[in-house]
Structure 1
Amino acid sequence: MNQIDYTTTSPRFSVTNNKELDEGLAYLNEHGYVVISDVMSQDKVNMNKELLWKFIENVSNGTIKRDDPETWSNQWPSFSSHGVISGFGIGQSEFLWSVRSNRQVKNIFARLWNTRQLLVSFDGCGVFRDWRYNSTWKTSGGWNHVDQNPKLKPDRCCVQGIVSLTDQNERIGGLIVYPRTHLRFTELCDVTKKSNDFVQVPSDHAIMDQGRTRGKLVHCRAGDLILWDSRLIHCNSPATAIEERRPDEHVDLLRIAVYVSMSPTTFVHDQTLDEFREKRKQMVENNYTLTHWSTELAVSRKVFFLMKHNLDIVFISNSFSWQEFREKRKQMVENNYTLTHWSTELAVSLGNHTDLPKLSLDTFGAYQKALIFGTNDENDE
């Protein structure tokens, strides 16, 4: 079992100071992750929280009410095991586009990749509910993985990001990283299957050094941007230092993590850039949520499986004992989940994509279109 440091803070490097930002990107190269501060003001954080609640209430058709936590188990849109929201059109929502359009986010990725011709990811977000109010809301940790294929993509070709709308510490939970493991990335070739970019890392793998490879909870503040190399071993974790909730204490969302990644247009392969841009346009118009790979067109596979502690695909014969499966089914009923037609699996239904409205590029501003197509515009600084 690998040890995890939940309490030590990480250095934060301000985007408003060029010297600090360069030091932060050097830290990313060495450690595989970094925290960049001063990305989003508190006013913008609050505004984006409002947009998130607007999205959640709308997709539940009013069943979920932000001021009534008793309703937060009814049709809650995220996976209960890890908090990720990747369905219901989240990737093209007003909420996600508001966060992606923050100028400082692109400024940071532009400094990282040394270009402003960047494609933004159409990813979702992660939300933790305060499980002191309802213990079934507690997420799972320990599902260590990388998000890049070491056989097909051995070099750095993607840096993932989280714009955090909440503080992140041991009382809240959040991103767990294993610093410097990106430097040993090719050691994971032996557990890599086919062309998958998601690679689960067993706790007894040699890269974990028999438990001596130490994990770290990345502390940050609301409005910070966390970056990490896709070759870095990581997962997320629930809070570990929970204080008892007072009866009169306001129930709120513990963690809001908005996934944003940007990569250069030069990373697009196997088709012309014009062809790729046309397909990106179609993805936006058809309201698709994709992955962190902005230079690829992979629809989020989080829709198709339910994460457990070890992230097994949801076939019951491979994942759970019959007794465990019954208990999981019981929890699904208690939490009012809608599943798919597979009664022998625990595949959560994230809504029928054909029910989502079509979108028009006319509703996007010039800056947002530049992020969609990977072009510069007159507003680029």
Structure 2
Amino acid sequence: MASVTQTITSSGNPTVGQLKLRGHHAALEAALPELETKGFTVVKGVISRDRAAQYVERMYKWLEGFGKGFKADDRSTWHIDQMPTFNRGGLFHRFGVAHEQFAWDIRSEPAVIDVFANIWGTEELLVSFGEFHQRQEDVRQIEPYDPTDSGIMNLEENGPDDGGLMVLSGSMLLYAQFFEEHEADAPEGGWSWCDSYHFTNPAHLQWFYDRGCKWVKMEAEPGDVILWDSRCIHYGAAARGDRARVATYVCYKPAAGIEPAMLEKRKKAFEECMGTSHDPLLFRFTGSKATGPATPDERMEPLVKPVLSDRAKQLVGILAY
């Protein structure tokens, strides 16, 4: 499985999104050409390494707080039966984690917001309510929906052998052609907007390989933000070493683009402590309340609901710009 996306206009024709640079942002200025041409890049040093380490500590405290035996400083306790329920080798989206205070503190980091404000040319943004990773295994998907400049706030060293984002270089420029040539493969009703549509036909990936596309492992340091255009095929790779991946999704889009019905759904997600998929404007609900408990004793909300700044309330959509 792998992921690729396309934009569909009202006329049904695919289009390419436009990236903008607002003001001076040296790290993004260096990274933006690669994002535009390849569909992926790393913005260096968005937050400090010390700040990243503080978030890692808070995430591990959250894991320890379940009382299942996990201890951050004892790797012998890093076992499935000593951790809360997770998906895909370490993807945590249950228990209201999308609305823990540390999650909102990351989303509210001015420097992180500024990366996306520069990309979109506006500070009036909405943010997704995403999950965090503590480990990783291979999962690939296809995403035929409106392009999103998705982001990962990287909090630990992430090198070539560590679990993390794999991107298929060259695939973004071919996404429209792929869908045009594979219309017969679309499911009943056409390609779904849903950003977790999966299929496993090896011939689809081979089509990209035959056109010279190659897999690239994204590497990043603590405090870097990894960006990728959702039209670029990508997946989360399993670690080949023993170093943990610690990261969280940070995806923002202009608030002006949301439909009223979806804005009300965002408010519902916040009020009920549900997560969302990557796109802040066109999303699915995720988390314990959205999918039902995995265990009878599953906690459905954060232990303490977050206290939001006015800026964070704007990012939710409960405070108007």
Shift of 1:17: 6.0
Q: Return the alpha-carbon distance in structure 1 between the equivalents of residues 301 and 245 of structure 2.
A: 26
Q: Return the alpha-carbon distance in structure 2 between the equivalents of residues 123 and 148 of structure 1.
A: 20
Which residue of structure 2 lines up, in the alignment, with residue 235 of structure 1?
Answer: 235
Shift of 1:217: 0.3
Q: Return the alpha-carbon distance in structure 2 between the equivalents of residues 50 and 168 of structure 1.
A: 17
Q: Return the alpha-carbon distance in structure 1 between the equivalents of residues 34 and 109 of structure 2.
A: 23
CA offsets, 1:71-109, max 9 Å, x none?
Answer: 322242354644211111111112211211111111010
Which residue of structure 1 lines up, in the alignment, with residue 308 of structure 2?
Answer: 364
Which residue of structure 2 lines up, in the alignment, with residue 331 of structure 1?
Answer: none
Contact 2:125–2:254 (Cα < 8 Å) also in 1 = yes
Matched, 1:113 2:113: no
Matched, 1:40 2:47: yes
Q: What TM-score, normalized to structure 1? A: 0.67
Q: Return the alpha-carbon distance in structure 2 between the equivalents of residues 18 and 66 of structure 1.
A: 35
Q: What TM-score, normalized to structure 2? A: 0.78
Q: Counterparts in 2 of 1:82-101, with a 5 A limit? A: 82-101=89-108
CA gap of 1:353–1:110, structure 2 versus 1, over 3 A, is farther
Matched, 1:373 2:314: no
Matched, 1:166 2:111: no
Q: Return the alpha-carbon distance in structure 2 between the equivalents of residues 61 and 89 of structure 1.
A: 17
Shift of 1:350: 6.5
Measured on the aligned residues, the alpha-carbon RMSD in Å equals 3.4
Matched, 1:202 2:201: yes
Which residue of structure 2 lines up, in the alignment, with residue 349 of structure 1?
Answer: 294
Shift of 1:39: 0.7
SS of 2:244's equivalent in the other structure is: strand
Query: How high is the sequence identity, in percent, across the aligned residues?
Result: 25
Which residue of structure 1 lines up, in the alignment, with residue 281 of structure 2?
Answer: 295
Contact 1:204–1:211 (Cα < 8 Å) also in 2 = no
Q: Return the alpha-carbon distance in structure 2 between the equivalents of residues 351 and 69 of structure 1.
A: 27
Q: Return the alpha-carbon distance in structure 2 between the equivalents of residues 285 and 349 of structure 1.
A: 21
| AA of the residue aligned to 2:195 | D
CA offsets, 1:147-181, max 9 Å, x none?
Answer: 343xxx4xx3x111101001111232311001231
SS of 1:63's equivalent in the other structure is: coil
| AA of the residue aligned to 1:203 | P
Shift of 1:27: 1.5
Contact 1:203–1:211 (Cα < 8 Å) also in 2 = no
Shift of 1:372: 1.0
Which residue of structure 2 lines up, in the alignment, with residue 183 of structure 1?
Answer: 173
Aligned with 1:63 (options 53, 66, 69):
69
CA gap of 1:353–1:281, structure 2 versus 1, over 3 A, is farther
| AA of the residue aligned to 2:214 | R
CA gap of 1:238–1:103, structure 2 versus 1, over 3 A, is same
Q: Counterparts in 2 of 1:268-307, with a 5 A limit? A: 268-269=258-259, 272=260, 276-300=262-286
| AA of the residue aligned to 2:227 | L
| AA of the residue aligned to 1:54 | K
Deviates more, 1:367-376 or 1:100-109: 367-376
Which residue of structure 2 lines up, in the alignment, with residue 140 of structure 1?
Answer: 137
Q: Return the alpha-carbon distance in structure 2 between the equivalents of residues 374 and 27 of structure 1.
A: 34
Contact 1:88–1:350 (Cα < 8 Å) also in 2 = no
Q: Counterparts in 2 of 1:245-324, with a 5 A limit? A: 254-269=244-259, 272=260, 276-300=262-286
Q: Return the alpha-carbon distance in structure 2 between the equivalents of residues 374 and 263 of structure 1.
A: 15
| AA of the residue aligned to 2:156 | T
Which residue of structure 1 lines up, in the alignment, with residue 111 of structure 2?
Answer: 104
| AA of the residue aligned to 1:290 | T
Which residue of structure 2 lines up, in the alignment, with residue 226 of structure 1?
Answer: 226
| AA of the residue aligned to 1:140 | E
Q: Return the alpha-carbon distance in structure 2 between the equivalents of residues 304 and 280 of structure 1.
A: 13
Shift of 1:255: 0.8
Mark the structure with the bigger radius of gyration.
1
CA gap of 1:302–1:82, structure 2 versus 1, over 3 A, is farther
Contact 1:51–1:94 (Cα < 8 Å) also in 2 = no
SS of 1:254's equivalent in the other structure is: coil
Report 1 or 2 for greater relative contact order, CA contacts < 8 Å, sequence distance ≥ 6.
Answer: 2
CA gap of 1:197–1:98, structure 2 versus 1, over 3 A, is same
Shift of 1:211: 8.6
CA gap of 1:259–1:183, structure 2 versus 1, over 3 A, is same
Matched, 1:21 2:19: no
CA gap of 1:92–1:179, structure 2 versus 1, over 3 A, is same
Is there any run of 5+ residues in structure 1 with no aligned partner, and where?
3-14, 129-138, 243-251, 306-339, 341-347
Contact 2:162–2:243 (Cα < 8 Å) also in 1 = no
